């Protein structure tokens, strides 16, 4: 990371990423999470096919759309994405359950991104358990829809079941790394699993 970029992130952190999202006219603070993940791991590239699972409100799609010129990008969510017209022709948005993606016949993807979280009830143990089950569904999705050699990023939360999720990911990928963007709230148990180069 360059000095100027490091200074920029430090400035953002002090001002608050929520306020920065408003100031920089991005859809959500999640925009900065993917930006920081991609700065470190360089996953979002031209000439690949990308799917964003649980894409509402569109922060990750906005980052991708800004960075790439020729990738094919699918965003899918049960929730409505507002102001779809702001996206370029590279972005296709579908209102549906991600488990129904096969019906749309997009073929396999080079990069699967997931910022999904289940509906929370307020009980941290239950909520983390639901999150980890959703993580496993994301891995199952990749078994069918991610190309060999492809990459996966998914959000999770620290908890006793996360070790099991990681072990399942390690069966599929050459390398699995954990990353917490600066734009994640410091007190949050949120982490991102970076799964590199599918081999199985």
b/e 30-45 (16+ beta carbons within 10 angstroms → b): bbbbbbbbbeeeebbe
Q: In whole angstroms, give the CA distance from residue 168 to residue 163.
A: 9
φ and ψ at 144, to 5 degrees?
-95, -35
For residue 78, count other CB atoms closer than 10 A to its CB: 11
Give the residue carrying structure tokens 């990353």. Answer: 179
Query: Which residues neighbour 91 within 8 Å (Cβ) at sequence distance 6 or greater?
Result: 61, 64, 65, 73, 75
Does 143 qualify as catalytic in the annotation?
A: no
From the candidates 69, 155, 182, 186, give the one annotated as an active-site residue.
Answer: 155
Quote the crossing angle between the two packed helices 3-15 and 30-41, to the nearest 10°.
160
Report, as residue numbers or ranges, the catalytic residues: 155
């Amino acid at each position: 990371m360059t000095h100027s970029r490091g200074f920029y992130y430090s400035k953002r952190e002090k001002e608050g990423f929520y306020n920065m999202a408003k100031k920089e006219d991005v859809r959500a603070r999640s925009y900065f999470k993917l930006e920081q993940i991609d700065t470190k791991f360089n996953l979002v590239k031209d000439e690949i096919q990308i799917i964003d699972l649980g894409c509402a409100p569109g922060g990750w799609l906005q980052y991708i759309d800004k960075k790439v010129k020729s990738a094919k990008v699918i965003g899918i969510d049960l929730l409505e994405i507002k102001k779809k017209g702001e996206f370029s022709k590279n972005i296709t948005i579908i209102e549906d359950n991600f488990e129904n993606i096969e019906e749309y016949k997009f073929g396999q993807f080079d990069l699967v991104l997931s910022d999904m979280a289940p509906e929370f009830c307020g009980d941290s143990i239950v909520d983390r358990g639901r999150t980890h089950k959703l993580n496993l569904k994301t891995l199952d999705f990749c078994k069918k829809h991610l190309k060999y050699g492809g990459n996966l990023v998914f959000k999770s939360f620290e908890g006793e079941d996360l070790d099991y999720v990681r072990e399942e990911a390690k069966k599929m990928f050459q390398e699995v790394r954990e990353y917490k963007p600066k734009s994640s709230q410091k007190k949050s148990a949120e982490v991102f699993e970076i799964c590199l180069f599918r081999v199985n």
